[in-house]
Amino acid sequence: MSRMGIGSQLGRASTRVLLALALALAVLAPALPAHADSIRDQQWQLSMLRAEEAWSYARGEDQIVAVIDSGVDASHPDLAGQVLPGADFVDGSTDGRTDVVGHGTTVAGLIAGRDDDSRGVLGLAPKAKILPVRVLDPDNEYDSAEHVASAIRWAVDHGATVINLSLGSADTAASLTDAVHYALNRDVVVVACDGNVSNDRGTQVWHPAREPGVLAVSGVNRDGQFWSGSLQGPETVLAAPAVEITGAAPGGGYNAMQGTSFASPLVAATAALVRSEFPDMDAKNVINRLIKTAWDFGPEGQDSEYGYGIVNPTRAVSAEVASVDTNPLLHGDDTGSQATGGPDMPSLQNKADPSSKERDRIGATVSIIATSMLLFTAVVIAVIVMGVRRRRRPRFEPDSLLAARLATRDHLPGAPMPPPPPPPPPGSTDTTVFVPPAQSVVNSDDQMTVLLDDDQETVFIEPHPSHAPNHKTEYRPPASSAFPGSPPPGPGRQ
């Protein structure tokens, strides 16, 4: 018998197909230690969706959300008292309140994690109850779509008001289609994930998410940008956070995960909030309200990435929305009006557009290139400066030799020789030599070169304040700094 997963067939020898839930494609970190007080701080999706404001209207009271998944660990501290007895369609060995995979426990915590303390995972609809229905075996697989179809029917018959399906397949199963419509016809809201990008599972939104009438959910990141790991298509209805999600794990721990499997329960929880705030509202109007109040974060109107937009729990429970007579996902959205009133969407600063991701990549590349060029230029300049400094490093010539050289140097015809320098002050260790600026020994305004024993010597010169402007002076260091082997200092040196 062919075994179906939530992805497309992998062509394994056994023909079994890996379950294409976010657990298979998600990035799972090792279970985090139970520092539950810091775990809640990691739930960025609650602040993005402005959960606190939504909770001032409703917290999911009197709602039952069926989690058709791998089972739920009802003993987890964050789910204690939140999980009802369920069913097991794998082997009948449990009542759904056991989870050897972990996926269903994470999904359940995102929906209904307890709110009676300040520790651990907090669900978006913390007063709702979880109805666990196991369809996944320890290998994250299910034998056939019929098992999932049976689970849906069972959940409807046992009081579920919302059904979450964080699973799906590239293939369409007639039995699953029939089960979905069984739920829709009995006033149950059905939510399913779009699926995750995979090389061997196709690019089409998974089934049952693409089934008409189902709230198909794609994923976004912290900035509201469409998550590149999410599948997309015209069937997408809403989007929700899907990355860097911290969730409950079996045994009391926590996992860091990503995938549309964890965006779907946030929409399911929002549906529970709406049904709690408006207990007489039927499923089609709940769906319509979620569509009309979504934050249109992509191109205007419905698009393949965001659908109608990012789910907005606060507006969903507070805005004024015209009622409809039919499910807009079954007969088309012909109401033509958006919700009015209620606070706007979360703490996101910039509205995304389809090209923003590409612009970010281009900007990053330009920044890297510019930085590299600046670093290269800085290195070149440093090398040049070091070379110039090395060539211009002054070497002081013994005064007697420099004076003799200058005394015999030709000067301009008719030009008088410069007057001799004044005697140095008593105790001075400096010698001043006057150099006519036209003499060839002067290289520049601050540098002079002379030849000594075939060695080119460079010294610094500066104007002497007590003589004519065309005279320059050379600063001389103390005699103790003369080079080894140089003649004794001349007159005026001590």
Q: Which residue has the higher pLDDT, 245 or 384?
A: 245
Question: Can you name the residues that pair with 241 across neighbouring β-strands?
Answer: 220
Kindly tell me if the per-residue pLDDT of 370 is higher than 50: yes
260, containing H or E segment: none
Cis-peptide, bond into residue 208, ω within 30° of zero: yes
Model pTM score: 0.66
Annotated active-site residue 325? The verdict is no
Q: Which is the catalytic residue, given 73, 76, 99, 103? A: 103
Q: State residue 484's pLDDT score.
A: 43
Are the C-beta atoms of residues 60 and 112 closer than 8 Å to each other?
yes
Q: State residue 346's pLDDT score.
A: 56
Q: How far apart are CA 347 and CA 415, in angstroms?
A: 84
Q: Which residue has the higher pLDDT, 486 or 383?
A: 383
Cα Rg, the chain, nearest whole Å = 40
Kindly tell me if the per-residue pLDDT of 322 is higher than 70: yes
Q: Where are the domains of the chain?
A: 22-352, 355-391, 396-494
Annotated active-site residue 261? The verdict is yes
Angle, CA of 222, 260 and 351, to the nearest 5°: 35
Superfamily grouping for domain 22-352: Peptidase S8/S53 domain (3.40.50.200)
Q: Count CB atoms within 10 A of the CB of residue 265.
A: 32
Angle, CA of 231, 233 and 234, to the nearest 5°: 155
470, containing H or E segment: none
Per DSSP, helices labelled H in 113-162 are: 145-157
Q: Which is the catalytic residue, given 166, 198, 230, 261? A: 261
Q: Count CB atoms within 10 A of the CB of residue 438.
A: 10
Q: Which residues of 57-84 are buried (b: 16+ CB within 10 A; e: fewer)?
A: bbbbbebbbbbbbbbbbbebebbeebbb
- Summarised one tens digit per residue, pLDDT across range 25-52 is 443 444 444 444 589 999 999 999 999 9
**Residue 248 confidence class, pLDDT cut points 50, 70, 90:** very high
Q: How far apart are CA 273 and CA 484, in angstroms?
A: 93
**Which of these ranges, 150-164, 272-286, 290-304, has the smallest mean pLDDT?**
290-304
Annotated active-site residue 103? The verdict is yes
Q: How far apart are CA 160 and CA 64, in angstroms?
A: 5
| Residues in the chain, total | 494
Are the C-beta atoms of residues 73 and 248 closer than 8 Å to each other?
yes
- Over residues 397-403, mean pLDDT: 45
Q: How far apart are CA 314 and CA 133, in angstroms?
A: 29
Kindly tell me if the per-residue pLDDT of 68 is higher than 60: yes
- Using N-to-C axis directions, what is the helix angle for 264-277 and 103-112, rounded to 10°? 30
Kindly tell me if the per-residue pLDDT of 166 is higher than 70: yes
Q: Which is the catalytic residue, given 8, 69, 88, 150? A: 69
50, containing H or E segment: none
Say whether 198 sits in a helix, a strand or coil: coil
- Summarised one tens digit per residue, pLDDT across range 92-149 is 999 999 999 999 999 999 999 999 988 999 999 999 999 999 998 888 777 789 999 9
Q: How far apart are CA 236 and CA 216, in angstroms?
A: 5
Tokens 């019929």 label which residue?
Answer: 146
- Over residues 397-415, mean pLDDT: 46
* Range among 74-83, 373-382, 414-423, 449-458 rated most confident: 74-83
